[in-house]
Structure 1
Amino acid sequence: MENKTEIAFFDLETTFPTPPGQRRAILEFGAILVCPQKLQELWRYSTLVRPSNPKLISSLSARCNGITPEAVVLAPSFADIADTVYDILHGRIWAGHNIVRFDCVLIREAFAEIGRTAPEPQGTIDTLALLTQRFGTRAGDMKMASLATYLGLGKQTHRSLDDVKMNIEVLKYCATVLFLESSLPDTFPENHWVSPNAASLQQDVTMEENPILQPPEMPSTVTVPESCSDSLGFLEPDEVSLPSIRALHVPFFRGSQRVKLFYEGAILQLCCPRLRIRFGISKKYSDHAGRPKLSFVVDASPSLCGVLDTCDRIVQKFYAESGCSSDWRCVVSRKQAYVNYPTVRLRMNSHHLSLFSLFIHDEILSIPTAVNGDVAPYATDMYQKEPSGTTQKLIFSKFDATELDTYFKPGTFVDSYLSLNPYDYQQRSGIQLVATKLVIHNE
């Protein structure tokens, strides 16, 4: 491999996958070669890219980045620019925001589609992981738009070359702050700097495995607007009038905001009685501390699926109108193998707390646990209901996956009390269902 000393900062703009699960097509490629010693721009390149199927550019895609089908009619195809992209990237250090899980993957897929060998980097700098690890979560979700707002650098345009330039400026600003803090620790204590712009940031619930990408703290309750309350409590799906559901921004983490679902002036929460367990406890995945992330699968009722489908549409539209281009993960999944049993994916909320999680038929429902040494009581209240109607709270002295096997057996029914938490993180967005209470029927 040729030794190329420049760092290649690059960014892609793509189609927005509609329906969810559809592959993305590259609409724009932009790159800036930077001197690693001075972070000085040496050369730049950008071009629109005509996808093989222009129909992939939906109205939602156009709203996200402003690239319309008409704009790419005369643009080159990816095959036409492949040699240039290869020369820019191959043998250099690749840099960009969230490129490991997004841009790098799409570049390799694009070369594979045209039967070409993909470029290979000397190394990769993902500024999302780097800045989250070194800069903390001062800018909320640490997305490029949030960082730019936090640092007063303007609004992200979601165009490749503009985003690359903003990425480089963000990196310079953050490096300066970290340098001052390390040089004058008494004057600039850790996490001292709270930007006046921070109130406009949106902090979403983190859904990923890597513990360094988690916010250092999270309140157990969310402060809602003055006009709203939580007096409605938990509603059964049949009690919910679908046209009354709406999404709003509410105050959240250190002056930031997040999206919540509301129903008639209160945060929407669901009570789902007698969900039948189809598959028992799974111990396939572990958290950063080595504790298993547990899950089980239940059948979801038609009324529950109706509410969740509506919530999906509302939140997806809300995010799209805010400029979000992340892959949408539907709560309700209708797999071919279970055509008569709609499924719901509830993903793990991996925070500084350890978590127990519940599938609602392929959908993981998070059950947080507060860990104190070897003692890990589940934050979700769990009860066992006897045939006589007597209900007893289950007390666990430690995190023990095996112990739970006896309670969560296939065919067992559970009453589930759920909160619905929209998230948008690392090019993935959707709704997380979190169990605050479970009642296990001992029949």
Structure 2
Amino acid sequence: MRYLEVTVPEGKREVVLEILEDEGIDYVVSDETSGRGYAAVVRFPVPTRAVEPLLDRLKRAGIGDEASVVVINAETVLSEQFSTLRDRYSRGGQLGARTSRQVLRTKADELTPPFSIYTVMLLISAVVATAGLLADSPAVVIGAMVIAPLLGPALAANVGIVTGDARLKSTGFRYQIVGVAMVVVASIALATLARFAGLEPAGVDIVVATELEERVAPNLFSLAVALGAGIAGILSLTRGFSEAIVGVMIAAALIPPSAAVGITVAWGMYGAAIGAAVLVIVNLLSINLAALATLWIAGYRPQGLFEVSPTRTPTYTYAAIFGVGLLVLAAPLAGVTLLEFHTTELESAAEEEVEAVLAEPQYDGLESDDVAVELDGDYPIQSVERVVVTVTTRNPEPESGLADRLYEEIEPHSDDSLIVEVQYIVSEERGEDDDTDAQRVTIRTADGT
């Protein structure tokens, strides 16, 4: 429920009161004596669903921007006439419906902090996210998501589009673009300092050693977070759900990938940086497309029939830009997804073939310990490089012909040429209780050719 206070311009008092009477609204009228061109102040409670159509009707009657309107949350209204009005606007649905268009603009604007505060909070978030990724600490990365103020700009841009508010739209897009750029630049600076300080693990792939791997080679499932965040963000704004939780979702889609771009650039891994950058752009497009579609489906439009068409065109234009960009950039994500499916299938088939080969009599005493498919590390679109088969044995000598035999069985399951590498874990008995020592030894590598 809402409680409205409308300052009525001179000459419009009768028009306003006629509309309120026609709507069946209980109201209180006070004379306005400030001498600033107002005739009266009208106060009245209305159901939430009634705010937008009522203000639209007042505007069509000539009560424009010169009137002052204050909308306040109302806890309880005890009135039989108000109960009738509430039932009429509930339309058989849940009470406390969507936020009015006018309040929606205000809420979106309030969720966008001053630029100085926005900059400071994002820089802090970038530092925390970069440190968390380098330290391979999910808890620290989550902390970076919590403090990132990205919800307001993402929602403001799309509220501005569907309601025809150019200022809100430009502010939202500017904050988003500048914010992501700041995170990337800050992450490059911090990661460069970390690398020069000797924090790079010697001989270890930084992508594999940290939480970066899923962000530099993203798949189509990465879209789920961004699309869900965009939809949930609008629902939180229009239906009163917790904005804080939704803000973490939006930050989860943007902050870690942006920090991943900075880290991989600092480490000179430009292919991985491209993969992370694609994920950032895809998530930005997904959040905005989902938010825009949710707003439009929910029926948010500018006031009046004559204002729908001018706003429908830019809304469709932005939706097309978001959609086409998303489709183009989703192509490499689809490639990564197909590669993951292929890798899983190849690993499963290789495990079966290894078990079948080792069950043959000539390989008695050998047992499969692990089968792993390794990629070539050529980010963002990788390919299968080798299959590593680890077996346990008590014989310190490699089994002649095993690598070639495994290659013959595994290679048909792959579309590309690959290497089959056989590693041995040599175990030795010791003591009366048959305790064993096991030592991993790479005896031989073979590609079957």
TM-score by length of 2: 0.21
Larger radius of gyration: 2
TM-score by length of 1: 0.21
Which of the two has greater helix per residue?
2
